[in-house]
Structure formats: structure tokens, C-alpha cells
Amino acid sequence: MNRLFLLLGGNLGNKSLIFKEAQNKLQEKLGKITKKSSIYETEPWGFKTKDNFWNQALIIETPLSHKEILKITKDTEIELGRIRGEKRYTSRTIDIDLLFLGNLIINEPNLEIPHPRMINRRFVLIPMSEIAPEWVHPVFKKTITELLDECTDTLEVKKIKVESTLKSTNDLKLYNCPFIYKLNTKSEK
């Protein structure tokens, strides 16, 4: 089993519902979620928009390889309404970043682990510091707490309390991407 660290992010649609459904799908396909951070509201990084992001870090115990994990996370993003365009930084319903997979260091054309830009982003380091403050970055040999202390990112990241009246997203049968997008955009207006 490997310890997988993921970051959920998104700023479109019903974020509470989308995050809950992402967690359900990831736990079903990757393995047990053993820890999750609070949800943080964050200013957009790398572009301007009026819609702030939500971010949450997860730890999952998984027997899967990095290639299997990448396919599952990308498929999950698509199932939950993610549309990839030409721009790297843009609004989205969900983004699932692979931060760490144990102490592995992977440099492939379509995947780098540890996530190469995480050390420059408070919206990653703050949720990570909540669930794994002493985790040591295998490249920089520093804990998450140390990396956060050294981070020069100045964007606001604040913990929020998310209240949901939904017990389960299964009650809504949200497995159809266009339906999710229509429902979420209507509910946020």
C-alpha cells in the first residue's frame, strides 16, 4: 500500500456537492480516505476571476500504480464536469492534483510527483499542513511546515465551514456530466 496525497480544487458549480462526489468516487476507485483537511477558500492562482476556489487535501491508502491513479483522477474530473481548454489556469468544476505518492519521485511527460509547483502555493501547503505537517518532501528534504514557512505566496487562503443538507450525493444520482453541470450552475445563481 502507498500513501497518496491529493488536492481537490474547484471554483464552479455546487462545490460542496462536487467535492463530496469526488471523495466518494476516489474512495471507491483508489482506496480508503484516511485523512482529509478542512476546506479552504482561496484566491485564484495564476489568473483573475470573481469566483474563489475551494481546496481540500486528502490522504488515501492505495495499492495502485501512479499510472492507474492518474487515469482514475483524470476520469473522475471529466465525470464531474471538468472541461480542459488551452489555458493552464482557468475556472473549473474540479481539479485533482497528485501531490505525493509515498516517497516516490516520478518525472514523466504527463506526470511529475511530487507536484512540481506545490511548494510555491499556500493553497496546497496550508491544507497539507493540517493533515501531514511533518511529512518530508522527498526532493527538498523539508517538512510541509517548513515549506509553508518559506513559501512567498501572498494569496489569501482561509478555512471555511461547509454545511450541507445532503447526506449523500447518491440520493441525487449525479453520474451524468451534463446533468451535474446544469444542476450546479443553476444552484449557484
Q: In terms of pLDDT, which residue wins out, 145 or 180?
A: 145
Rounded to the nearest integer, the mean pLDDT of the chain is 87
Q: In terms of pLDDT, which residue wins out, 90 or 164?
A: 90
Q: In what helix (H) or strand (E) does residue 145 lie, and over which residues does it extend?
A: helix 144-150
Q: In what helix (H) or strand (E) does residue 7 lie, and over which residues does it extend?
A: strand 2-10
- Interval 83-120: pLDDT, tens: 776 666 778 889 999 999 999 999 999 999 999 999 99
Q: Is 32 exposed, middle or buried (0-12, 13-18, 19+ CB in 10 A)?
A: exposed
Kindly list the catalytic residues.
82, 92, 95, 97
Q: Which domains are seen in the chain, by residue range? A: 2-187 (3.30.70.560)
pLDDT of 127 reads 98
The per-residue DSSP string of 161-184 comes to ----S-S-GGGGT---HHHHHHHH
C-alpha to C-alpha distances, 135 to 25, 138, 176, nearest whole angstrom: 25, 9, 37
- Interval 114-160: pLDDT, tens: 999 999 999 999 999 999 999 999 999 999 999 999 999 999 999 99
pLDDT of 178 reads 42
pLDDT of 164 reads 58
Question: Contact at 8 Å (CB) between 37 and 130?
Answer: yes
Q: Which three cell numbers stand for residue 163?
A: 454545511
pLDDT of 87 reads 66
